[in-house]
A = this chain, B = another copy of it.
Amino acid sequence: MRSETGNKRIVVLFSGGLDSTTLLSYYVRGGYEVLPISFYYGQTHSREIRSVSEICRHFGLKDRLVRMDLSVASSALLGDGEIPSRSIEEMNTVPSTFVPARNLIFLSIAASYAYSNGAERIAIGVNSVDYSGYPDCRPGFIASMETAIRRGLDTEITLEAPLQYLPKREIIRKGNGLGTPYELTWSCYRGGENACGRCDSCLLRLQGFMEAGIADPLSYDSYPDFYAEWIKENKK
């Protein structure tokens, strides 16, 4: 499938969050023909789907939103050994930060999409520095998944994870330099009009911006103390 020179069409797993939006900037600026793919699986922070649309519009990209039933995965969160029969709506009570095999599933669908559209690359915004600790964000998983995709499709598709070894502050600095529209991104696990400024994801994000020496352009309901003090001290 790969031509002599390789084509520059790439499928990017895109959630509307900070990391994957940085990834989008990176490939768009790098002259790639970017095909974003996004997933709606009843996640609590479905507000990110609005960010997905706005960011795609910003870059002039067509979004491909895949709706799927991931309720098979959620039973672990409930500590329920029985076969679950919940609807997507009911999944709103479950934190979406812990979905077993989520990256396996998303990358498999992305592989199908890439193959079907002649893209020779797939990119995912995982990193293993400031990360959740999930095994499907680690380099060993990414490497084995690339092998499974290549054998399963009998093609030389490449799986790229350029943020893999970067701390959050470096991702933000890199993305800021590329003109990433961070004001349109969404990281908060709550789905309000503004980001909450209290959940794990907001804290990790604000710490990253602070360490990068850049003010987060997103609106928050309230800042955590460490960030409020930093903003005040530096008159950002």
Q: Which of A108, A115, A117, A148 has the most CB of B within 10 A?
A: A148
Is B152 in contact with A81, judged by CB distance below 8 angstroms?
Answer: no
In the bound assembly, the distance between CA atoms of A70 and B112 in angstroms comes to 9
In the bound assembly, the distance between CA atoms of A111 and B107 in angstroms comes to 14
| CB < 8 Å neighbour of A144 from B62, B84, B151 | B151
Stretch of A14-22, A96-104, A179-187, A188-196 at the chain-chain interface:
A96-104
Q: Which residues of B contact A151 (CB under 8 A)?
A: 135-136, 138, 140-141, 144-145
Expressed in whole angstroms, the minimum distance between the Cβ of A143 and any Cβ of chain B is: 8
In the bound assembly, the distance between CA atoms of A13 and B230 in angstroms comes to 53
Q: Which residues of B contact A105 (CB under 8 A)?
A: 105, 108-109, 112
In the bound assembly, the distance between CA atoms of A19 and B171 in angstroms comes to 48
Expressed in whole angstroms, the minimum distance between the Cβ of A77 and any Cβ of chain B is: 8
Expressed in whole angstroms, the minimum distance between the Cβ of A193 and any Cβ of chain B is: 29
Smallest CB-CB A-B distances: 8 pairs: A101-B112, A135-B154, A76-B116, A104-B108, A73-B112, A136-B152, A72-B113, A141-B151
Binding site for B on A (CB under 8 A): 35, 37, 62, 64, 66-70, 72-76, 81, 83-84, 99-105, 107-109, 111-113, 115-118, 135-136, 138, 140-141, 144-145, 147-149, 151-154
